[in-house]
Structure 1
Amino acid sequence: MKGAVSEPGSKALPPEALRSDVSSPATERSDAARNRIRLLHAATRLIAERGAQHVTMQAIAQGAGVGKATLFRRFGDRNGLLLVLLGEAEAQFRQSYTTGPPPLGPGAPAAYRLTAFGCALIDRTAADSDLGTILGRHLPSSAAMHPVLGRRSTVMSPHCCTRQE
């Protein structure tokens, strides 16, 4: 849908998602911001519909109504785009337990919060519709390293909850 920032019926991305790629300057041109929003919405929608392994950069560019060169210039490559989407999915989950309502967020006793966190993490990992989990399964392990923090994504680590002695 050329000219529109979001598509009817699509899940709206929060403002953080719309600024999370590393090439986003402090003062971004309005057309570049619209293209970034279109690209992220198109990628989210197509991945939810087809699965990450069946979505091409060409399909994302067409879905966003922009040229493929715009997509590559914005995110570098497929992994760059998927990492931005994965980072946002993780940020949304993190926000739910750092600032969300109890029992997952602050305000509940520690035991209730820990139980709620465990249940939310299991639900998220088991859900076929969670974008973070979907992307975590399809990014190569070399792409799992955060480019700035230099650490592995928690979604990418299948043993994050196993006890090391």
Structure 2
Amino acid sequence: MSVDDHTRKTILFFLGKWKTTRVSKDKLLQLKEELMKKDEAKPISLPQLKKIVRRVVKETSQAEKLKEIKLEGTTAITPITIPVTDNAFRQIVAFDIAASRRTIAKINEKIDDVREATDRQPKQFKQQLSSELTGMRRELDKLVVKLSEVERQLIIKGAKK
């Protein structure tokens, strides 16, 4: 038996107001009266209502346990939102770290190519470009260190669970 959105919202509103997931008979009657105010409401018995409340509470708690993350492709296509468990999240982060390392390696290769191409340029331009490239390489090295630290923390947190 599925629960429609209006019923779900009403139940969640009342549960939030009562600040509990346990519902007494009086509270069930109050909730039933509120649900019957809707025009096309079907008559419902208290045991059925109690089952519906339990189902909504269970589904809500399961939804809270899942984390939503955004995965963006490297092509910057519209991000998609999917629910992910903690273990899957760690795997995604580990994959992302590996992809970041590959990207940094490609950038380093391009820096080397640019440095080789500047050999035919005037001395002042070469010095300025060389200092810029050195600065970029330092920043990339810092990123590699940070990625290693994040990966280490991810492994530690994964081992704790």
TM-score with structure 2 setting the length = 0.35
In our comparison, the structure showing a higher alpha carbon Rg is 2
Q: What is the TM-score normalised by the length of structure 1?
A: 0.34
Q: Larger strand proportion, structure 1 or 2?
A: 2
Query: Comparing both chains, which one has the higher relative contact order based on Cα–Cα distances under 8 Å and sequence gaps of 6 or more?
Result: 1
